[in-house]
Each structure stands twice: as C-alpha cells, then as structure tokens.
C-alpha cells in the first residue's frame, strides 16, 4: 500500500466519524473529488456549492471530522486485534461492495471468510416457536457451510448465532454500536464464542460509539448486504426485521420468511412478506435453493429436512419420567409451567422437579420466564 493509499484510508476512517443516516451521497462526493482525502480538504462552502449538500450539513461534516482522531482509532483497533477495512482493501466483502451505500469503513473482529452467507433476522420478543425455528435454520445452514449473518440482538438473532456456533459453523454479527460496546450486555459471551469459532463481529461505527437507536436500521443494511438471502423469522409490522427485508429487496437479494403463527403479533411480519411474494422458508435447503448457482459451489448439501423435533436417540437417553414430561411439554405450543406439569401428570413436586431438571440440562427443553417449552 503506497503512502497515498494509506492517507486515503485514514481520510475514510476520519470521514466515517461523521454521523449521518445515509451515506450514499458521501460516496458520490468521494467519487467526485477522487478520494476522501481530497473531499476533506474542501471548505464546507465549496462542498455545498459543488456537491449539492446543504450548507449546515457540510459545516457539521467539517466540524465532526475535524474533531476525530483516525490515527488513534487505527492504533486502538490494531491493539485490540480489530481489522479496519475500506472498500479499497482486499478483505472488504465483495457482496457488500455492491449495495448502493456500502459502509465507508468496516471494523472486523475475527475472520470474514469468503463464504456465501444468509441472514436470519427477527424480533427480540420471540416466541418459543420462533427461537426454535431460527435455531434450526441456522444449524442447517451452518452444517451446509453457509455463514449465518445476524445482528446479535436478543431473541431471534441470539438463537441464530447460538445455533450456528454450536453446530461448528461460521456466523457473522453486524452490530449497531462500535466494537468496544457490545450490546446487549448479556451477549458478550456469545460474541466471544462467535469470534472463537471462526466467525466475525462487524461494525461500521467507530470503536467507542454507543448503541444509538439510529444505528440499528443502518446496521440492518449490512446484514442483508452481506447475505445472498435474508430470512425473516418473526416480527411485527413495524419491526427491524421488515426493515432488513426491505433493504434486501433494494439490494436485489432474496427475501424469505418463516410462516408465522396467525394468532400471534410477531407472526404478522413474515406472513405479510409471504403474501407479497417472499419464499416461505421451512428448512435450510429452502434458503440455499434461492442462492445463485455459482454460490452453491463447495456447499455440503443435505437432503431437505422437515421439522422433525429431537432425534429418537436423544429421547431414548431420557429417563421414563423425563420422557413423559417432555411429551406433555412438547404437546403444548405455548409450553407448560412447572405447576402445569405437576397437574397434567398428577405428580408430586419432587418428581416433576427431577424430570424438569433432566430435560432442561439435556437442551431438549428451554425454560423462559417460568415456562418450559420444546427447544428443538
């Protein structure tokens, strides 16, 4: 990399400190002036006159970029083992370059392997059905060798990352904050697991930027931009998941949706997408079959699987009591509380406690807010 390229990269990192909702006009200006370094040299009045920018925006840009310290930022990233990529660098994902406003700078912790990727997005307030389906799709994609992209939020995102990591696959998390501010707090462990298992944490925001609400829609375009196809698992009409789906469509990528429960508010988003022509996604193969043929090269394709629940072998390992309890729990879509288990089976508390402990630690059942639901 020559001195000019180095200067240009620093200029782009500096320019990236300017917070705005859309960056496509910045890219146009960079093109116009032949580089971010040139752009930053122009006085705001000239930017306003030639670049078609409002004067106050140009003034803000000048002020915010002047405050920034890109050298310090690069040094900090370097120390933390974070790669800083611009569109000029080789590691910058090809697919992301093609969207109409790719991030000026990508901060990447971990590896961005050149894999075909699919995005799995959904609500934070997921139902057991959503969590379990997101997990299953992510697992099947990971096993096939597809990278699972999502946003590290609570609910569906977490389930997708978790399942991909557990299946030994690659998963990418695009964050709505700088890489020094993992949000939400409780997903820090998961974030570490993602990088340890060959995946990556990706953010376009400067390292110390907090999780501002405005960041998240921008983050969503990165998830869909990294992916060949985006699957919406659960979400309401106004959800971030639908924003991601719209980005995917704008970027010319496939949109799939997991059919939602019709009596559930979070089932409305995906069902709306299906009514408007999105493919329904039942299993990982449904997603992979939407990929362009050249992306299928090297993937380990398995026969299409139906949602079958846990394997017989897993059930055979259970004690007779635990199996009875599992059948009762699996038979109720909303799951059962511990008390309901004792009522259904007419058991004493002690007996139910032992069966529930066995199920919970076998990962066949998950407990959320006191209700036990089928996990697979």
Partner 1 sequence: MLSKLRTLCLKGIDGREVSAEVYIAPGLPAYTVVGLPDAAVKEAKDRVVAAVRNSGYEFPSKRITVNLAPAEIKKAGTHFDLPIALGVLGASGKLGKKPPARLADTFFIGELALDGAIRPVAGVLPMLLALKGSGKTAIVPFGNSAEAAVSGVTCLAASTLKEAAAWLTGELELNPCLPAPDQKPVSACAPDFSEVKGQAFAKRALEIAAAGFHNVIMVGPPGAGKSMLARRFGALLPPMTFDESLETTKLYSVSGLGLTGRLVRERPFREPHHTISDAALIGGGSSPRPGEVSLAHNGVLFLDEFPEFSRPAIEALREPLEAWRVTVSRVKESVAYPARFLMVAAMNPCPCGYLGHPTRECACTPLQVHKYRAKVSGPILDRIDLHVQLSAVKFADWEALPKGEPSAVIAGRVLKAIEIQRKRFSGETRANAFMAGAELRRHCALPEGASAVLETAMNKLGFSARSLDKILKISRTIADLEGAAAIKREHVIEAVQYRMLDKAAELTAGI
List residues near partner 1 by CB under 8 A: 124-125, 154-155, 158, 184, 186, 265, 334-335, 337-340, 342-343, 349-350, 352-354, 356-357, 360-361, 363, 366-371
> Cβ closer to partner 1: 65 or 158?
158
User: Least distance from C-beta 301 to partner 1, angstroms?
Assistant: 32
* Strands in 48-93 per DSSP E: 82-86
Residue found under tokens 């050249």 = 294
> Cβ closer to partner 1: 133 or 158?
158
> Cβ closer to partner 1: 102 or 267?
267
User: Least distance from C-beta 328 to partner 1, angstroms?
Assistant: 14
User: Least distance from C-beta 354 to partner 1, angstroms?
Assistant: 5
* DSSP states of 120-183: EE--SS--HHHHHHHHHHHHHHHHHTPEEEE---TTHHHHHHHHHHHTT--EEEE-SS-TTS-S
Phi then psi dihedrals of residue 170, to 5 deg: -105, 135
Segment (H or E) for 203: strand 200-203
Three-state SS for 317? coil
User: Least distance from C-beta 88 to partner 1, angstroms?
Assistant: 38
User: Least distance from C-beta 349 to partner 1, angstroms?
Assistant: 4
Distance CA 353, CA 366 (A): 14
> Cβ closer to partner 1: 163 or 352?
352
Distance CA 339, CA 275 (A): 40
> Cβ closer to partner 1: 229 or 341?
341
> Cβ closer to partner 1: 127 or 244?
127
Distance CA 33, CA 54 (A): 17
> Cβ closer to partner 1: 49 or 357?
357
Distance CA 68, CA 308 (A): 54
User: Least distance from C-beta 236 to partner 1, angstroms?
Assistant: 11
User: Least distance from C-beta 127 to partner 1, angstroms?
Assistant: 9
Residue found under tokens 């997921």 = 126
């Amino acid at each position: 990399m020559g001195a000019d390229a180095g200067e240009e990269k620093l200029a782009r990192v500096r320019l990236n400190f300017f917070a705005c909702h859309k960056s496509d006009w910045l890219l146009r200006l960079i093109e116009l002036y032949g580089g971010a370094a040139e752009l930053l040299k122009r006085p705001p009045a000239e930017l306003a006159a030639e670049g078609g920018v409002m004067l106050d925006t140009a003034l803000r840009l000048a002020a915010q970029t002047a405050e920034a310290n890109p050298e310090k930022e690069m040094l900090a990233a370097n120390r933390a083992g974070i790669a800083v990529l611009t569109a000029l660098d080789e590691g910058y994902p090809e697919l992301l370059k093609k969207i109409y406003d790719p991030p000026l700078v990508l901060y990447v912790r971990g590896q961005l392997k050149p894999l075909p990727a699919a995005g799995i997005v959904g609500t934070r307030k997921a139902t057991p059905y959503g969590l379990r389906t997101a997990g299953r799709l992510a697992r099947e994609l990971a096993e096939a060798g597809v990278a699972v992209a999502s946003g590290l939020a609570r609910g569906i995102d977490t389930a997708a990352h978790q399942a991909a990591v557990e299946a030994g696959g690659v998963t990418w998390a695009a964050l709505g904050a700088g890489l020094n501010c993992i949000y939400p707090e409780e997903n820090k462990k998961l974030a570490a697991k993602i990088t340890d298992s060959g995946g990556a944490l990706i953010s376009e925001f400067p390292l110390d930027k907090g999780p501002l609400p405005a960041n998240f829609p921008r983050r969503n375009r990165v998830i869909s931009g990294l992916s060949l196809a985006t699957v919406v698992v659960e979400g309401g009409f106004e959800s971030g998941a639908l924003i991601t789906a719209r980005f995917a469509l704008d970027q010319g990528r496939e949109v799939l949706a997991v059919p939602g429960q019709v009596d559930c508010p979070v089932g409305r988003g995906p069902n709306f997408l299906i009514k408007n022509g999105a493919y329904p996604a039942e299993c990982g193969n449904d997603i992979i079959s939407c990929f362009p043929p050249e992306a299928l090269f090297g993937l380990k394709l398995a026969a299409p699987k139906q949602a079958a629940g846990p394997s017989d072998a897993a059930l055979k390992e259970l004690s007779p009591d635990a199996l009875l309890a599992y059948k009762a729990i699996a038979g109720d879509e909303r799951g059962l509380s511990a008390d309901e288990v004792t009522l259904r089976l007419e058991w004493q508390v002690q007996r139910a406690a032992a069966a529930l402990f066995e199920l919970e630690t076998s990962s066949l059942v998950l407990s959320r807010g006191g209700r036990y639901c089928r996990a697979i």
